[in-house]
Homo-oligomer: A and B are copies of this chain.
Amino acid sequence: MAFLLLPRRLACRSWHNHLLVSGSRYISQAAAKVDVEFDYDGPLMKTEVPGPRSQELMKQLNMIQNAEAVHFFCNYEESRGNYLVDVDGNRMLDLYSQISSVPIGYSHPALAKLIQQPQNVSTFINRPALGILPPENFVDKLRESLLSVAPKGMSQLVTMACGSCSNENAFKTIFMWYRSKERGQRGFSKEELETCMINQAPGCPDYSILSFMGAFHGRTMGCLAATHSKAIHKIDIPSFDWPIAPFPRLKYPLEEFEKDNQQEEARCLEEVEDLIVKYRKKKKTVAGIIVEPIQSEGGDNHASDDFFRKLRDIARKPYRIFNTWLGDPSKNLLLAEVINIIKREDLLNNAVHAGKVLLTGLLDLQARYPQFISRVRGRGTFCSFDTPDDSVRNKLILIARNKGVVLGGCGDKSIRFRPTLVFRDHHAHLFLNIFSDILADFK
C-alpha cells in the first residue's frame, strides 16, 4: 500500500495571502513560511453526525419544510479548503463538495477579499435585468470568465442562473434552430403565430430531444423529460413522449474487456439511430441529443471518447432566448476570480495528479476488498466505485462520515468522489488511510 506508507506531505502553495475577513481564523501549516495555508490539517470529530445541534435544527426546519434530505447543518464560516465543519464542531474532509459545486474549496481568501472590495459591492446589491440593462463591465467579465475557458470555436454564450435553466434554454434553442431550418426563408406563418398561443402545432411543433437511460439533466419539466436516473424524480409528473437510448454499461478493468465494451457501445449507438428513425415516423422528430460526459447521478457511468465522437457524427446527420435575470453578474464576478485562481495555481493539473493518487489507491483497495469494491473508475478526481448493494453503500457513507469523511452516493450502489480542485495528494492519502481502516473493520 504505497499510498498508506507515503508520508502525508502538506502542500504549502503560494496561492493566497493573509485572510482579510476579521473574525475568521486560519490554521497555518507552515508558520515559518511566507504563505498561510487556508486548509485544516485533518478531520476532527467531536460527536456522531448529525450531532445534537444539527438534530435540533432539523427539528426546527421540519416545521417549515420536509427536512428528510438534510444530512447535517454546517458552520460555513469555520469551513475552509477541503474541510467542512458542522454546527457541532465536527470537521470533515469533504470529498463530495456540495454535490460537486465548490471548485476552489471553502472560504477561499481571494473570494473573501473580492466581496469586501468597495468597487464590487454594487454588483451584489444592484441585480440587473441583464438582457435589457447590462452593467458596463458585462462583456469584459464574460470574456474574463466563461469565454476564457470555452471550448475552441465556441465564441458566443448566453448566461443563465442555474443548470436546469441552461438545459431548458438549450432545448429551446435546438427547437428554434431546427424549425428555422425546416421553415427556410419564409417568416412565421399566421397559423404558427396563432396555434403557438394555445400550445398546438404547427406553432408548437411536436419535436423531441433524445436522452439516455440513467441520465440526469435537471428537474424542471423540460429537463425532467430527459432525466432517467431515479423514479422518485419523475413519478406523478406529466412528461413528453421523447426517445430514450441505453447508455453503455462498461466492464472493468477496461483493458481486459476491450472487445465486450466496443460491442456494448456499438449496440447503444445503433439504438440511437433506430430511435431517431422511429420517432421521425411517429412525427416526433428528434431535434437534438443530450448526453453527460460522465453519467453522474445515474451511477458515474463512463463511455469511451470514441463513443462520444460517433454520437456526434450521428447528430450531425440531422438555436430567441431571454428571461428577466439571465444569470447573476455577482456570480460571474465570483466565477472570474475562481477561474483566475484555477489558472494561476494550475489547479487542473493538481486535480489530475491527485485524481491519479486517488484512483490508484481505490484500485488497490478493490484488490484487497473485492467483496465490497468493484468497477473502480474515474477521470481526474471524478472517481467512483460500486458496492454490492445500496445498503452496504449507505452504511459505508455513514461510517465514513463519523470518521470525518464526507462521501456521496450515486446510482443504485455507487460511491462517487467530487472533491474540490484544491484537493491534493495528501488529502487523497488521508482519505485512503481512513477508508482502508473502515474496510478492514467492515462486516
Contacts and interface: CB of A to CB of B under 8 A. Distances in A.
A438 interface: no
Contact of A197 (B102, B136, B180, B228): B228
Interface stretch (A204-212, A364-372, A379-387): A204-212
A72 interface: yes
B188 A98 contact: no
A168 B223 CA distance: 11
Interface residues of A, number: 118
A236 B179 contact: yes
A321 B123 CA distance: 31
B196 A156 contact: no
A133 B72 contact: yes
A188 B64 contact: no
B134 A237 contact: no
A184 B164 CA distance: 32
Contact of A132 (B71, B147, B161): B71
Nearest to A104: B125
Given A115-B121, A164-B165, A220-B165, A127 B98 contact: yes
A237 B176 CA distance: 7
A185 interface: no
Nearest to A60: B139
B235 A203 contact: yes
A304 interface: no
A209 B76 CA distance: 40
Pick the most buried of A22, A204, A205: most chain B CB atoms within 10 A of its CB: A204
Contacts of A125: 107-108, 111-112, 114-115, 334
A325 to B, nearest CB: 6
Contacts of A321: 66
Contacts of A60: 139
Nearest to A108: B125
B139 A61 contact: yes
B219 A222 contact: no
Interface string A213-247: 10000111110010010011011111111101000
Interface in A256-289: none
A106 interface: yes
A131 interface: yes
A126 B38 CA distance: 14
A239 B192 CA distance: 13
Interface in A3-41: 21-24
Contact of A198 (B99, B161, B168, B228): B228
B232 A320 contact: yes
A161 B158 contact: no
B128 A74 contact: yes
A118 interface: yes
Interface in A282-338: 320-325, 330, 334
5 contacts: A24-B118, A77-B119, A99-B132, A220-B221, A221-B225
